[in-house]
Structure formats: structure tokens, C-alpha cells
Copies of this chain bind each other. A is one copy, B any other.
């Protein structure tokens, strides 16, 4: 084996499985290694350190091994600058482009390590030299590098394939890149650590919800932003009022949903029905099925949701509270939409860009009973963002947690009881909900 480089691993490299992975990668790919230094942190907070020489039969083999080692956080002791190649055409990547992970990443450019801005999975890294040669193409085309950079400071940021423009300087190959995957702490049975034993409904629901509530409070105390991603099932399940309460009380900073969510939420406010079912009596009033179309038509007539709130047409619900409390929302269009509402972004690339901005701003994300929107948001998240996935279908939760966040809770539960229990845990019981059946029946008696 003629080719060789030396890499080092630092941190909780044993607990997190990083060392095990590193050794595995080298051997799987036909290489060899020699552990030159190995220090084990022998108490809970202590970090470990491993330096090893990696050998391969050829330079190209070595590059491939080093690439994989990069992905898991093993970095070269003698780094070089990243290779750059100009994109040959709009939306076409150079051969051998570096495809990002969702972990914090640095790129070495002119001898300096640049943090890659807006890191997300499966993107290219574009370098802007800062000397005016290669400029970002602006936020409107899906570029992540949407902040103004003063002339002179080089920057590195992610671009999705769609945003690549001819001539963009794209990082290729494996050299000059440092990845810092979040370590899984050993004390991992808590909800934001590694979920042991797979996704299951057979976990203590109220204890888990208390942990979610704690995380939300902690996020707000730290000045962080909470993004809620949700679908119409939340409204059908009767959780609209309590989600609206969380918005009103300042626990939700952004909302990401689709046309259907907004329509059902507004329909419930206007007619008390959702999909035509009365949310209190559970009856299906005749003509209920028309409410959906009427709702859209009325909002179109008003000119949009905010206008309909201002006009007094919409007087309650999640969208109402978003408008009243300046909580920005993105309503992404889909091919199953009725209408859609004027607020709905019908172009999927444009909608994705709006979602991407939300995702980059979020410090914590609640994914509530929607696979489509949750995947869209999840694709844009860094692995350091706190994520809570709630769905009644275990396969959905499994798929969402698979995205590789290191800060994820998955819950297989009913959104219709989850949201009220969560709101009750954070805010105390709502006044109007505190009556028991006994009270309720007295009230009923009066009606008879």
C-alpha cells in the first residue's frame, strides 16, 4: 500500500460509534490502518482521541476512503485546500461534486477554514471568493446563500441542484473538508438522545410529552425559534383550538403547512365542521361537504387570509392567531388541493425555497401528522436542530427519524390528544376546558 495520509478523531468517539465506523470504513474499502495514538476518556464527560495512519493501494482509493472518513468526522492532520470546479451549466454539477451531509461542515479555501452556511443534506457547496468573481445568484432561485456578503470576505454555502448556475465554483472530491457530526452522548435514554428499541406506541406518553414541553420552554428561554409543520389531520382530530392557543401564547414562531390545513382550519371557524363533520356533535350536517369549497371561495373573494381576518370573516383558529400574532406561515401547494387559497404557493420549487428559509431559521421543529411537509422541511434541516415527530402511523415516524437528526424525539400517538396534553402541560388547562363531565351535565340539564 503506497498511498497514505494521517487522520484524527476527537470527542466521544467511542460512545458515538465514530471510532468503530472509522475502522470499519477503512477495512471495508480495502485499506489498512495503524493506530498511532489512542487515548480513551475514562469518565462521562471526558473526550477521547485517536490518530491513525490510513493506507490504500492507490491515491484514488485513498481519496475515496478519506471521503467516507470525512463524512463521519475523521479529519486529515495535514489538510489541503478544497478542490473547486466551475459548474458546466445551470442546474448541472461538475463530475465528482461533493454532496453534503446535514452535519456542521467546514471547507478549506485559500488556507482558511470557512464554515459552510445553511448546511443541509444532498447539496453542493459553492464558494464565493469575495473578490467579486463569483457571486451568489440570489435567494429567489433557491440559493441558500442569500445574505449580502461584503466584498472581500470569502464565503461557502450550500446550493441545491436547482439553484446551481453555470460558472458557480463547486467543491469537488474529498480534500479540504471537515465534518463535525453530532456525538450521541452515552446518557442516551432520554428523549433527545438515541431512541432505544425502535419507534413504538408502547412508551409512557405523558412523560414523553413533558419532555417535549420542557424542550419547547428551554428553546424559548434560549431565544430560539419553534417551527410547527402540520397537516389537516390535526384539525380533523380536534386539536385546532389548542394549537391556536399555543400560537397565541407565543410558543410557535413559524408555521409550515399546506393549502388543506388552512382551509380546514378556516372552515372549522366559519362552519364548525371539518371535512363536513361537526367537531362537537360528530354529526355530518347535510351540505357539510360544500363548506370546504365555500370557505375557499370566500377567502378568494376577500383577497387572502390576512384580508379575511381584517374583514372579520375569520375570527378564530390557527390561521387567525398566526395573522393576529405576526407568526409567518408558508402554505405550500399540492396536486390534491382544492382552490387553492390565494396565500398558497403553487410552484413547488418556490415553495421549497420558502420552506428552506423557515427550516434554516428554526431551532426546534414540531412535525405533526404530515409526512409530505415533514419530509420537505426535514430535507433542509441541519443535524443539530431539535426535532419532534408525532404521527399515529409508526412507519411515518420511523421514516422521519431516519433523516439523521441527532436531536429527535419520535412519538406514535394521537395528535388529537397530544396537542391538548402538550398545551395543558405548558400553559395549564384552558379555562373553558376545566369543567368535568359532572359540570357539563348540569349545563346539559339546563338545556333540556
Q: Could you list which residues of chain A lie within 8 angstroms of chain B, going by C-beta atoms?
A: 14-15, 17, 19-20, 23-29, 32-35, 38, 40, 42-44, 64, 67-68, 88-89, 91-93, 97, 99, 122, 160-162, 186-187, 189-191, 196-211, 213-214, 217, 232-233, 236-239, 274-275, 277, 279-284, 286-287, 289-290, 292-294, 296-297, 300-301, 332-340, 346-352, 355, 372-373, 375-376, 379, 392-395, 398-399, 402, 412-418, 420-421, 424-429, 434, 436-438, 440-441
Q: Is the pair A93, B38 in contact by a Cβ cutoff of 8 Å?
A: no
Provide the bound-state CA to CA distance between A337 and B142, in Å: 13
Which residues of chain B are within 8 angstroms of A161 by Cβ–Cβ distance? Answer: 293, 296-297, 300, 338-339
How near does chain B come to A173, taking the closest CB pair, in angstroms?
A: 12
Q: Is the pair B335, A332 in contact by a Cβ cutoff of 8 Å?
A: yes
Provide the bound-state CA to CA distance between A399 and B64, in Å: 37
Listed residue (A122, A347, A417) with the most chain B CB atoms within 10 angstroms of its CB = A417
Which residues of chain B are within 8 angstroms of A40 by Cβ–Cβ distance? Answer: 23, 33, 35
Which residues of chain B are within 8 angstroms of A208 by Cβ–Cβ distance? Answer: 282
13 example contacts (A-B, Cβ-Cβ < 8 A) are as follows: A15-B20, A17-B17, A26-B42, A91-B300, A93-B293, A93-B297, A161-B296, A198-B199, A205-B239, A207-B238, A392-B414, A414-B418, A426-B436
Which residues of chain B are within 8 angstroms of A198 by Cβ–Cβ distance? Answer: 198-199, 398, 402
How near does chain B come to A436, taking the closest CB pair, in angstroms?
A: 4
Which residues of chain B are within 8 angstroms of A339 by Cβ–Cβ distance? Answer: 91, 161-162
Q: Is the pair B437, A425 in contact by a Cβ cutoff of 8 Å?
A: yes
Closest 4 CB pairs of A and B: A205-B416, A204-B238, A417-B417, A333-B348
Listed residue (A27, A287, A333, A348) with the most chain B CB atoms within 10 angstroms of its CB = A348
Q: Is the pair B29, A286 in contact by a Cβ cutoff of 8 Å?
A: yes
Which residues of chain B are within 8 angstroms of A239 by Cβ–Cβ distance? Answer: 205
Q: Is the pair A202, B233 in contact by a Cβ cutoff of 8 Å?
A: yes
Q: Is the pair B440, A436 in contact by a Cβ cutoff of 8 Å?
A: no
How near does chain B come to A399, taking the closest CB pair, in angstroms?
A: 8
Q: Knowing that A92-B300, A122-B338 are A-B contacts, what are 5 other residue pairs whose CB atoms are under 8 Å apart, sorted by A's residue number?
A: A190-B283, A204-B277, A333-B348, A335-B376, A417-B421
Which residues of chain B are within 8 angstroms of A332 by Cβ–Cβ distance? Answer: 335
Q: Is the pair B189, A68 in contact by a Cβ cutoff of 8 Å?
A: no
Known: A20-B20, A23-B15. A417 touches B205 (CB 8 A): yes
How near does chain B come to A241, taking the closest CB pair, in angstroms?
A: 9
Provide the bound-state CA to CA distance between A293 and B333, in Å: 24
Provide the bound-state CA to CA distance between A18 and B91, in Å: 45
Listed residue (A27, A29, A202, A437) with the most chain B CB atoms within 10 angstroms of its CB = A202
> A294's closest neighbor in chain B, by CB?
B93
Q: Is the pair A348, B355 in contact by a Cβ cutoff of 8 Å?
A: no
How near does chain B come to A275, taking the closest CB pair, in angstroms?
A: 8
How near does chain B come to A143, taking the closest CB pair, in angstroms?
A: 16
Q: Is the pair B398, A236 in contact by a Cβ cutoff of 8 Å?
A: no
Known: A205-B416, A289-B122, A332-B335. A349 touches B346 (CB 8 A): yes
